[in-house]
């Protein structure tokens, strides 16, 4: 088993799984150094971006902050790509050069393979710069993720390894164990709901409905109190007990006052019964018709 250092946490993998992980990491903007530690793939690279949507720029930056790639917001002629919003509802994402426009088709259904999931089928058709990324005004939130994949492909000067041999189950485990501790925001976009119950999530890796993971401070924070001074957790437990007390249980034995005061005694077949006094027979007693 080969030890792998993930943010100071050591996990051990077989040679076969290490090879799978090594093939996946470049898609995430990472690689394994000689000490088997995760390292950013683009520590010395920068991409100059022009866009009027600063929130979109910042959101795309969050997806790739673990890669070492620097995104520089710049206005002017010396840029690598320009990001523009458009109102064309028929086009979700396009790449435009001086001579050609490429209409991309991001993944819109349930992925059937890791190759379809890992960059959501967003494939950069050219590497020449500058070019323009055209996105739909109605899909800004998802566009930030797509732009992140385009920037990862633009920064990578090498071809990506084949990952066709990696099962979806293995990939989901690697996302949870490796990518989530490094960048939860990107990891959540790579997780499938069908695999969430089986993933060995750590307490710090609870999947939240919002964009950020639950922090230790939030986990240790006191429960909010209601107007009566009790905690919401206590009220919930109380309500649960009240519901259970009113629930009809047809197979539950009835408890009388004596049962509540004393524990039931074990059955003793040789114990004499004292509940009823034996009847005395009077042979001289007259019978009445």
Distance separating alpha carbons of residues 258 and 117, to the nearest angstrom:
65
pLDDT digits (tens), the chain, 289 positions: 899 988 888 999 999 999 999 999 999 999 999 888 899 999 999 999 999 999 999 999 999 999 999 999 988 778 999 999 988 777 889 999 989 999 999 998 889 899 999 999 999 999 899 999 999 888 888 999 999 999 999 999 999 999 999 999 999 999 999 999 999 999 999 999 877 655 554 433 333 333 333 333 333 333 333 333 343 344 344 434 443 444 444 444 444 444 433 444 444 544 444 444 445 555 445 555 4
Q: Is 287 left (phi over 0), alpha (psi -120 to 50) or beta?
A: beta
Tell if the pTM clears 0.95, that is, is over it: no
The residue extents of the domains of the chain are 2-39+168-205, 46-155
| Nearest in space to 49 (alpha carbons), one of 168, 133, 157 | 133
| Phi, psi (deg, nearest 5) at residue 91 | -115, 115
Question: Among all chains, which residue has been given the structure tokens 């720029």?
Answer: 57
Distance separating alpha carbons of residues 119 and 149, to the nearest angstrom:
6
């Amino acid at each position: 088993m080969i030890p792998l250092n993930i943010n100071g946490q050591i996990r051990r993998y077989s040679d076969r799984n290490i090879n799978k992980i090594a093939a996946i990491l470049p898609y995430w903007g990472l690689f394994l150094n000689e000490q088997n530690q995760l390292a950013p793939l683009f520590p010395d690279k920068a991409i100059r971006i022009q866009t009027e949507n600063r929130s979109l720029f910042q959101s795309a930056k969050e997806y790739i902050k673990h890669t070492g790639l620097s995104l520089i917001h710049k206005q002017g002629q010396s840029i690598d790509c320009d990001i523009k919003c458009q109102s064309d509802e028929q086009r979700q994402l396009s790449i435009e050069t001086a001579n050609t426009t490429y209409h991309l088709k991001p993944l819109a259904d349930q992925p059937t393979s890791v190759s379809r999931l890992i960059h959501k089928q967003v494939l950069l058709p050219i590497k020449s710069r500058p070019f323009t990324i055209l996105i739909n005004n109605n899909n800004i939130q998802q566009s930030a993720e797509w732009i992140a994949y385009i920037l990862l492909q633009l920064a990578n000067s090498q071809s990506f390894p084949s990952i066709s041999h990696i099962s979806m189950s293995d990939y989901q485990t690697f996302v949870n164990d490796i990518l989530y501790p490094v960048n939860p925001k990107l990891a959540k976009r790579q997780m499938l709901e069908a695999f969430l119950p089986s993933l060995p999530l750590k307490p710090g890796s609870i999947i939240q409905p919002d964009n950020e993971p639950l922090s230790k401070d939030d986990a240790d924070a006191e429960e909010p109190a209601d107007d009566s001074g009790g905690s919401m957790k206590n009220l919930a437990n109380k309500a649960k007990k009240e519901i259970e007390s009113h629930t009809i249980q047809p197979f539950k034995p009835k408890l009388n006052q004596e049962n509540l005061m004393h524990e039931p005694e074990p059955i003793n077949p040789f114990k004499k019964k004292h509940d009823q006094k034996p009847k005395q027979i009077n042979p001289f007693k007259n019978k009445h018709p």
